[in-house]
Structure 1
Amino acid sequence: MEDDLAAATERFTTFDSFGQFLLGFFAIAILPGVGEELLFRGVLQNGLQRVVKNQHVAIWVAAFIFSAIHMQIFGLVPRMVLGAIFGYLYVWSGNIWYPIIGHIANNGIGVIVAYLFSLGLIDSDMEDPESMPITLSLIGLIFFAALMFLFRNHYLKQKNIRE
């Protein structure tokens, strides 16, 4: 099944025209970004929070279910961490639009990179992690961690001011 899902992903990220790219971007980035976040953060995480009374448990259980529903065992942990990041964005901000935008950005970057690769404009193939320069990956990780730290501190500071 993992191979079938990989083949389906390749079909969805192979573009013969800009129109196909736009359709792919809508189907892979925008629809899941909105739909999955409303379902997993807006409904499931909120429901779990009301039942277990612990935001961290609610975030991680929702993140696990979010990852498991994608049915890719090799991507289970990274996708679960991504789901938890979206969950914390939601809890810190109290606004569902932040995880929606983050989800669209995450999926959208992948679609854009696949399109640019198919045009021969870049050498990094999303399907081959070894083609991505490690320095670029580390810079991205540091940048992402700094943004998350700033985001968290900003919203926690705002909540403390209101209390």
Structure 2
Amino acid sequence: MSLNGKYSLGILLTFVLLALVMLYVFPFINEIIGTTNITAEKFFYSRIAIWLVLIITFLYSFFIEKQSFLLWKDKKYPITFYFTAVICLYFICLIGGSFLNVLVKILTHEKFSEKMTQLSSIFKNNYLLIIFTCLTAGVVEELLMRGYVQARIERIYNNQYFGIFISAILFGILHSTYGTIGQVLVPFFIGVVFALFYKLYSNIKILIICHFMYDFVSLIVMNLIDIKHLSAF
């Protein structure tokens, strides 16, 4: 198999494994434990499953591709650049995501995600789970979607725009399990912003930090504000 063929198989493997985790990890855990309600313990195990996908993808790149996991070497920048980049990316995603959410609600009258409503209860005052959840999203999703998928798609098609938009589309699709259009469009938008940044500056650490911060602030706000009031926005 050619190297591009191995890249394609690795991307397919990564996406399928993530999709399986998103769709079936809770039914699988429910079958083992024998209950159907969502608990903090079950959600913790679901995040562990996402880390396992990262490990499998890393092993695939090492043993099958025989390539570095990150095809693009991280560039070094001054600490001031890290700070500025994280803040700018955060507000671009916040403002752009909020605009898309409002637009979707106006056009479709879409209600707040029922799954997010369920999850809000398990995050209530559970700050360790919030931190672990945000750390999982920041590290695993950025390493897989930007670090692994984006760079390989660009190599396969020799087209930087394919790498940017296909990785963003996959990122959006993976969030469709939350059950709303907004939960697909906003991650797609964030995926495009992050992928553009990664292509321009080749620094996955900044994206990990920003992704963590974006999710952390969102969950803290959800933790502090009644979900019924939050859904009005």
TM-score range for the pair, normalised by the shorter chain length: 0.5 to 0.7
Q: Would the aligned equivalents of 1:114 and 1:125 in 2 still touch at CA under 8 Å?
A: no
Determine if the alignment matches structure 1 residue 62 to structure 2 residue 62: no
Alignment of 1:26-45 (within 5 A): 26-27=132-133, 29-45=134-150
Q: Distance in 1 between matches of 2:229 and 2:209?
A: 24
Instruction: Tell me the residue number matched to 1:106.
Output: 214
Q: Distance in 2 between matches of 1:91 and 1:54?
A: 11
Q: Are the structure 2 counterparts of residues 3 and 114 from structure 1 closer, same or farther at C-alpha, using a change threshold of 3 Å? A: closer
1:25 counterpart (131, 134, 138): 131
Q: Would the aligned equivalents of 1:117 and 1:125 in 2 still touch at CA under 8 Å?
A: yes
% identical equivalent positions: 25
- Secondary structure of the 2:185 match is helix
- Secondary structure of the 1:66 match is helix
CA offset at residue 6 of structure 1? 2.8
What amino acid does structure 2 have at the position aligned with 1:85? V
Q: Distance in 1 between matches of 2:153 and 2:166?
A: 8
- Secondary structure of the 2:124 match is coil
Structure 1 stretches lacking a partner, 5+ long: 119-123, 130-163
Determine if the alignment matches structure 1 residue 82 to structure 2 residue 207: no
Q: Are the structure 2 counterparts of residues 10 and 58 from structure 1 closer, same or farther at C-alpha, using a change threshold of 3 Å? A: same
**CA root-mean-square deviation:** 2.6
Instruction: Tell me the residue number matched to 1:154.
Output: none
CA offset at residue 25 of structure 1? 2.3
Q: Distance in 2 between matches of 1:109 and 1:85?
A: 18
Give the alignment's TM-score, normalised by structure 2: 0.46
Equivalent residue pairs, number? 120
What amino acid does structure 1 have at the position aligned with 2:212? I
Instruction: Tell me the residue number matched to 2:121.
Output: 11
Q: Distance in 1 between matches of 2:208 and 2:159?
A: 22
Q: Distance in 1 between matches of 2:229 and 2:211?
A: 20
CA offset at residue 57 of structure 1? 1.8
Q: Are the structure 2 counterparts of residues 30 and 77 from structure 1 closer, same or farther at C-alpha, using a change threshold of 3 Å? A: same
Q: Distance in 1 between matches of 2:200 and 2:230?
A: 30
Q: Would the aligned equivalents of 1:110 and 1:126 in 2 still touch at CA under 8 Å?
A: no
Structure 2 stretches lacking a partner, 5+ long: 1-22, 24-111
